[in-house]
Structure 1
Amino acid sequence: MFSANHLRTARMLGVAMVATLGLASCATYDDEFATINSRLDQLDTRVQGAAQSAESANQSAQQANQRLDQLESRVQQLESAPTRKPRG
């Protein structure tokens, strides 16, 4: 029926078809990974922006706290100063 040569050719074609299907599925996975990586890059950029905004807000809050501390010190000095007698 089939010669050994025909069987070898059929096997080779089968292997080639499996390899082609495997490569095609790899391309699909590559596309999916590229999409996922792109989304991760976008998220990373957004996270970095949020971190920078948070750091800036933290610095502003620290400066505001320093100003409040200075005011508190000045208010305490004024409150503890001897009272003045009104003129007149």
Structure 2
Amino acid sequence: MSVRFGLGIALATFMTGAALAAPMSPEEKAVLQQQCAGDFTTFCAGLPPTDGPETQACFQKNMSKLSPGCQTAIKAYQKKS
């Protein structure tokens, strides 16, 4: 499994769990992958990318430290939901 695929699963799990929202579209998933991949490796590198609850907690804990693009992508998805 590639890290990019795993990161997509982790971000999808994070966003679905955080917002209890409708399923993520492929476009939304792509934006989150693009905007948050660096943040995942910076703040959550020790976590397996498919570990939903731990990854979700990591992103929530570090929300104020995430890059502006990642924060914007997460907030846009949460607003839509």
Q: Which has the larger radius of gyration?
A: 1
* TM-score > 0.5 by shorter chain: no
Tell me the TM-score normalised to structure 1 length.
0.22
Q: Which has the higher helix share?
A: 1
